Amino acid sequence: MIDELTVLRRTCIGSVREFVTMASLGVNIDHIANVRQARRTVEPDPVPMALLAELGGADGITVHLREDRRHIQDRDVELLRQTVRSRLNLEMAATEEMLAIALRLKPDMVTLVPERRQEVTTEGGLDVAAQAKDFSDLVRRLQDSDIPVSLFVDPDRRQLQACQSSGARWVELHTGAYAEASWTDQPQELARLIEAAAIARQLGLRVNAGHGLTYQNVEPVAAIPGMEELNIGHTIVARALAIGLQQAVREMKVLIQNPRLDPLFGQQPG
Ligand code: PXP
């Protein structure tokens, strides 16, 4: 049952969309690498999967090269740099090691994110305000090499002002609080994102957003005026499993029930 609020929201989004540029989609493929690394094997390989994401309409491919290399590996980023035909967005911690990699590979964008070894995923936004000098320095070094920089921050005025002072031209608003909020708190979290996007634009910053977005909660965020790109990973990979598993099992069943008697596959018993 669609309630009145949902109808109203969809109508508003429909009419707002007429006046705003549609947000593009950056597909985060870290979770594909997570499955590979669970076995330390070669499949699934995020590199060809990026091509499939592009065929599906991805406007960009996002990967997070973590310091502990828990999912995406250096080899993945190197190959993606050569094969991605849309845009490669490299998420990374603000460290000298990562800076050197970015300067060498020159992704289409670097998104600086906070990183803690113990966390399951990126937990909060950067505290740009507390480390203004470090961020300005890093942003300058990347932008001097023509690499646009985005800073992943909570929807907070002070952080956005610090982002502007750092010289960065982009921010990615952390949508985690909105995504995790209860049904009753979600409108308030959405209002924070809308306000933050407006503040960022007043400050001359371009606005992306991401983290925790799903098929159920993405639409109001996509409709925020000025929203340029949404970076989405987990829910897309989860959905890919859901819609692909039946076919994958079917293909295995065919092999088991009709094994090829090819010499390459060895002698058949008996
Ligand atoms: N944006 C940033 C900065 C992230 O760190 C992540 C998670 O790696 C995402 C977007 C995508 O989040 P999710 O996998 O929850 O869609």
Model pLDDT for residues 196-233, shown as the tens digit of each residue: 999 999 999 999 999 999 999 999 999 999 999 999 99
Among 30, 32, 121, which is best to mutate for testing ligand 1, by the most ligand atoms less than 8 A from CB? Answer: 121
**What span, in angstroms and rounded, lies between the C-alpha atoms of 90 and 69?**
14
Q: Which domain holds residue 22?
A: 4-257
CATH number at residue 117: 3.20.20.70
pTM of the predicted protein model: 0.89
**CB distance 22 to 204 below 8 Å:** no
**What span, in angstroms and rounded, lies between the C-alpha atoms of 223 and 219?**
6
**CB distance 54 to 81 below 8 Å:** no
Please give the number of the atom of ligand 1 that sits closest to the Cα of 176.
15
Q: Is 263 contained in some domain?
A: no
Give the closest residue (by CA) to ligand 1 atom 6.
211
pLDDT band at 1 (very low <50, low <70, confident <90, very high): very low
DSSP-derived 3-state class of residue 88: strand
Q: Is 265 contained in some domain?
A: no
Is the CB of 26 inside a 6 Å radius of any atom of ligand 1?
no
Q: Please report the pLDDT score of residue 7 as a whole number.
A: 56
**For the chain, how many structural domains are there in total?**
1
CA of 81 to the centre of ligand 1 (A): 19
DSSP string for 18-86: TTSPPPEEEEE-HHHHHHHHHHTSS-S-HHHHHHHHHHTT-SEEEEE--TT-SSS-HHHHHHHHHH-SS
Residue 8 has pLDDT above 80, yes or no: no
**What span, in angstroms and rounded, lies between the C-alpha atoms of 234 and 259?**
36
Residue 14 has pLDDT above 60, yes or no: no
Place of tokens 């490299």: 90
Q: Is 171 contained in some domain?
A: yes
CA of 164 to the centre of ligand 1 (A): 22
Q: Is 269 contained in some domain?
A: no
Question: Is the Cα torsion angle 65, 67, 73, 75 positive or negative in sign?
Answer: positive
Is the CB of 174 inside a 6 Å radius of any atom of ligand 1?
no
Average pLDDT over residues 62-86: 97
**CB distance 111 to 72 below 8 Å:** no
